[in-house]
Structure 1
């Protein structure tokens, strides 16, 4: 039986994710938005900072990353999956902005919500129980990484970054994203390291993944509602 306190925490976490609509939609703060629109030329350090800030505050990225490493114990395996996510994320973010790919941010963010649902179901072993097969988790991580990067690209395109110095600034932004991912990963691993040593880890793992799946479904619903309403 799930302790009431843990269930309350998980519910509050899911509601927090739903309420944080700006972060879930890859939004940039108003101050950062104004800065991006106004500057021109090569500005490497500011874009590194903006990229790192985006990753550390991006709830959808962190949820997916949390799900990916949930049952990974060896650093070698963690490095493989995080690298696949980084390759996918970097590729579509750079290409999407540089070649001006026009894709609905609502639909992309709905797919990102689906990535969170997928990873939670994968952690729960649902695919083997329901369908009798196990999707290739490495391929899935790479593919969903593509969508995470494309989601960010759709938002960056809305701010009409000056073409002067665009490629160096995008590369700097991407470097910042990867630095932010390393910071977020370190914090998650520290948390997981302590949690896994407790007796309640296996008892509560199911509930936490259900909460993560619920947050993913709420993100999907929010984005699809925005798509049809807008």
Structure 2
């Protein structure tokens, strides 16, 4: 049973990595709504935020790496809170202050965050470089970049100023709800997996796949940057 769960988890990671072109995709109905909405639209923005996080697999891959070896609820809450703080700051400030950041470069950094976490989980820093970065600080800093990634997507649609602050708050709350829903499922899978005798072997494989996904995400975005 646990082996099947492990294989399903890895299959999900591979599925995420194989759909690079769909990252942050916005369907036509959502695109039209974002461009034409007027006034406060709390519930629709709440829904769009949750949907974006659940389908934003680059964010989820990073969070998988963050919580992979966390065994205590308090630690999970701390690291998720740091990530939430980071992306909330730059999401809100990026849109409200109209801070323009190249979307390809931001998404490339998000790809690097996935690579970093897989490498960190495998003990790469200690083994190859002889030191261990402050994981909490790294999660907060990468959270800032993830928030800019969200902000750049919203800026593309030139959302009307009328009701913008309230709509952004709703979007951000939706992102958090989507994040907690996805993390709940991920934690259940990982917790069940930990009771398997094959956990150590699949942990190495999964974090290696995280690194590979990070490399592909970064390469894909840099290719888009240099070819655009």
Which TM bucket (shorter chain)? over 0.9
Structure 1's unaligned 5+ residue stretches are none
1:84 and 1:138 in contact (8 A); partners too? yes
Corresponding residue for residue 73 of structure 2: 75
Q: 1:19 deviation in Å? A: 2.3
2:119 and 2:211 in contact (8 A); partners too? yes
1:18 and 1:218 in contact (8 A); partners too? no
Q: 1:93 deviation in Å? A: 0.4
Corresponding residue for residue 170 of structure 2: 172
Q: 1:209 deviation in Å? A: 0.5
Corresponding residue for residue 123 of structure 2: 125
Correspondence 1:222 to 2:220: yes
User: C-alpha separation between the residues in 2 aligned to 1:37 and 1:166?
Assistant: 12
Cα deviation 1:76-128 (Å, max 9, x = unaligned): 00000000000001110000011111110000000000000000000000000
User: C-alpha separation between the residues in 1 aligned to 2:25 and 2:96?
Assistant: 19
Tell me: CA distance 1:48–1:11, structure 2 relative to 1, closer, same or farther (3 Å): closer
Q: 1:27 deviation in Å? A: 3.2
Corresponding residue for residue 20 of structure 1: 20
Tell me: CA distance 1:11–1:82, structure 2 relative to 1, closer, same or farther (3 Å): closer
Structure 2's unaligned 5+ residue stretches are none
Corresponding residue for residue 156 of structure 1: 154
2:90 and 2:144 in contact (8 A); partners too? yes
Corresponding residue for residue 105 of structure 1: 103
- Root-mean-square deviation (Å): 1.9
Cα deviation 1:19-43 (Å, max 9, x = unaligned): 23222xx332222111111111001
Q: 1:15 deviation in Å? A: 6.1
TM value normalised by structure 2 = 0.93
Correspondence 1:43 to 2:36: no
TM value normalised by structure 1 = 0.93
User: C-alpha separation between the residues in 2 aligned to 1:76 and 1:12?
Assistant: 26
**Secondary structure, aligned partner of 2:161:** coil
Aligned residues: 224
Correspondence 1:203 to 2:211: no
1:98 and 1:167 in contact (8 A); partners too? yes
1:18 and 1:219 in contact (8 A); partners too? no
Corresponding residue for residue 87 of structure 2: 89
2:20 and 2:220 in contact (8 A); partners too? no
Corresponding residue for residue 112 of structure 2: 114
User: C-alpha separation between the residues in 2 aligned to 1:222 and 1:10?
Assistant: 21
User: C-alpha separation between the residues in 2 aligned to 1:74 and 1:63?
Assistant: 20
